[in-house]
Structure 1
């Protein structure tokens, strides 16, 4: 059973890295549920945020020049302010509730992203604050801070290269801050190999696979992963 869950975790890391390098998001959505199931809530989240940081590092070298610092900062400020406060508030929380909470966050976030819902207020300053704060909460609880930021990006109408550049910039900083808040867990060699292979494949596939197609697959697998995390943790 443990070997099977470990293989599932490695698959999540592999395909998460493919999605992250090709689209700018998706690593935590795919990898976090399986890593939390394999390593437990605290260790799984800590490992996820370290791997998530690494998953954006190499793609950032390719897409970082397209990032818009002002728009990235608009999201980062509330995220960085909320992350340590949320981590402190949750420090005494029974960890048995963290896994299903993370799974529920994934399911809700994926459903919102997939529905195509558009809210005008997300284009306003309070929309960036809400997205950044919600991302901080989900990242601390389950290492899955992507859905609120993805929803914001969908409303921003950024060009594909700008989207990837902004998302990689945001997630590198956010995941570093989250790692400092929840603790740093070094991934094993097998996780690092899966990450490297996935990143290389994603960067090769990025110009060839339509982003919409890959994003649809990411959302579908993420939904199943979130449901499995809730069911496996309760």
Structure 2
């Protein structure tokens, strides 16, 4: 097995573990590494594909706690938001897109941490939900990371954690599915060109990562898991940014 394939499988495994433990870590953790290992176009599509499976699997266990009224308002925004995100990804050359992905990951993570400390609140109405969904959809299509925008919204509206985490899973499925569709429409070459054994391996490590994450979620504190996700995501985002800058003419 080629070293790059091993690294792709390991990145997918880590993302699946973090998705099960933290509820939204797949794109943040595996995303920047898959972009580095593949390219910023097919890498984001692979993130979206795996993200659908990861979120869908978690949702099977949490659907009873989902807040469906919020889900539909957020989802309307995210479907519309994936259109400019996909257009942007299709229009940019690889190095600028890598820079954009790295910056989006770093800024979204730092913003989420700052928002969590300032103690501000905002109303949970249609406008804020639609706008949050729109931003999440744009980031999902452009960078494969739609979770931080919704996480910030949850903090600002003081959304109860269990209900938020349950609602987030079908929302991410809608956003990532929409991102794949529009990226395929605007860039026909975006689909990852991987061999059949590699796809089978990805499916296997996805399952293994989700099972491992389920076990790990019972052994560690959620705060510890969030710190690990942030550290990994910041490292990957920085590496993606540096690679983009290094190849920028």
TM-score, normalised to structure 2, is 0.85
| Offset of residue 118 of structure 1 | 4.4
How far apart are the structure 2 equivalents of 1:121 and 1:158?
11
How far apart are the structure 2 equivalents of 1:50 and 1:152?
24
Equivalent pair of 2:139/2:145 in contact (CA under 8 Å): yes
The equivalent of 1:35 in structure 2 is 34
| Offset of residue 100 of structure 1 | 1.1
How far apart are the structure 2 equivalents of 1:46 and 1:177?
11
The equivalent of 1:83 in structure 2 is 82
Distance 1:6 1:230, change over 3 A: farther
The one of 223, 227, 234 aligned to 1:223? 234
Distance 1:156 1:207, change over 3 A: farther
| Offset of residue 90 of structure 1 | 4.6
Does 1:26 find its partner at 2:25?
yes
Equivalent pair of 1:122/1:128 in contact (CA under 8 Å): no
Larger radius of gyration between Structure 1 and Structure 2: 2
Distance 1:101 1:122, change over 3 A: farther
The equivalent of 2:221 in structure 1 is 210
The equivalent of 2:188 in structure 1 is none
| Offset of residue 155 of structure 1 | 2.8
In structure 2, runs of 5+ residues without a counterpart are 185-190
Q: How many residues were matched structurally? A: 232
| Offset of residue 131 of structure 1 | 1.8
Equivalent pair of 1:28/1:48 in contact (CA under 8 Å): yes
How far apart are the structure 2 equivalents of 1:35 and 1:106?
13
Equivalent pair of 1:113/1:147 in contact (CA under 8 Å): yes
Q: CA RMSD in A?
A: 2.1
How far apart are the structure 1 equivalents of 2:148 and 2:112?
7
Q: Mean Cα displacement is larger for which, 191-200 or 59-68?
A: 191-200
User: What CA deviation, in whole Å up to 9, does each residue of 1:73-129 have, x standing for no partner?
Assistant: 221111112212442355333233111101100000111122324442364443323
Equivalent pair of 2:121/2:158 in contact (CA under 8 Å): no
Distance 1:33 1:126, change over 3 A: same
The one of 206, 212, 231 aligned to 1:201? 212
Distance 1:89 1:218, change over 3 A: closer
Distance 1:86 1:225, change over 3 A: closer
The equivalent of 1:162 in structure 2 is 163
TM-score, normalised to structure 1, is 0.90
How far apart are the structure 2 equivalents of 1:204 and 1:71?
29
| Offset of residue 7 of structure 1 | 4.0
| Offset of residue 190 of structure 1 | 2.5
User: What CA deviation, in whole Å up to 9, does each residue of 1:117-155 have, x standing for no partner?
Assistant: 444236444332332122122111111111111111223
The 3-state SS of whatever aligns with 2:90 is coil
The equivalent of 1:178 in structure 2 is 179
